[in-house]
Structure 1
Amino acid sequence: MAQQHDITSPQPETRGRLLRAALDLFTQRGYSATSVREICAAAGVTKPVLYYHFKSKEGMYRALLEEPFCRFGAILATFSHPEGSAAQQVLDLCDRIFTLFSEHLNVARLMHVIYYGPPQGAPFFDFEVFHRKLHDLVKELVAAGIHKGELRPGNVEDMSWVLIGTLNVALEEQLCQRRPRLDRAGLGRLIRLVVQGFAAMGHADARPGDEPRDGGRAVSGAGTWGPGAA
Structure 2
Amino acid sequence: MPDGLGPNGELRDGDVRERIFASALRHFSQKGYAATSLREIAEDARTTKPMIYYYFGSKEGLYGHIVREFLEEMEAAIRSSLPDGPPPTEQVMRYCERYLDYFLRNEEIIALVLREVFGLGGTPLFTFSQAFGERVRKPLDEILARGIDRGVFPKHDVAELATAITGILNMFILAHVFGGAPIEREAPLRQVAVFIRGLEASAR
- TM > 0.5 fold call: yes
Matched, 1:199 2:193: no
Q: In the alignment, what sits opposite 1:25? A: 31
Matches within 5 A, 1:57-136: 65=67, 68-78=70-80, 82-118=84-120, 127-136=129-138
For structure 2, the 5+ residue unaligned runs are: 1-21, 53-58
With a CA cutoff of 8 Å and minimum separation of 6, indicate the structure with the bigger relative contact order.
Answer: 1
Q: Identify the structure with the greater helix proportion.
A: 2
Distance 1:77 1:167, change over 3 A: same
Q: Which amino acid counterpart does residue 98 of structure 2 have in structure 1?
A: R
Distance 1:96 1:85, change over 3 A: same
Matches within 5 A, 1:139-158: 139-151=141-153, 153-157=154-158, 158=160
Residues 68-99 of structure 1: CA distance to partner in whole angstroms, max 9, x if unpaired? 43421213543898331111111111111112
Q: What's the CA shift for 1:22?
A: 5.0
- Work out the CA distance in 1 between the residues paired with 2:122 and 2:149: 46
Distance 1:192 1:33, change over 3 A: same
Count of residues in Structure 1 that have an aligned counterpart in Structure 2: 173
For structure 1, the 5+ residue unaligned runs are: 1-15, 40-46, 204-230
- Work out the CA distance in 1 between the residues paired with 2:203 and 2:31: 54
Identity among equivalent pairs (%): 21
* Secondary structure, counterpart of 1:176 in structure 2: helix
- Work out the CA distance in 1 between the residues paired with 2:64 and 2:145: 35
Matches within 5 A, 1:141-220: 141-151=143-153, 153-157=154-158, 158-180=160-182, 182-200=183-201
Give TM-score scaled by structure 2 length: 0.60
Q: Which amino acid counterpart does residue 174 of structure 2 have in structure 1?
A: E
Distance 1:179 1:65, change over 3 A: same
Matched, 1:51 2:71: no
Give TM-score scaled by structure 1 length: 0.54
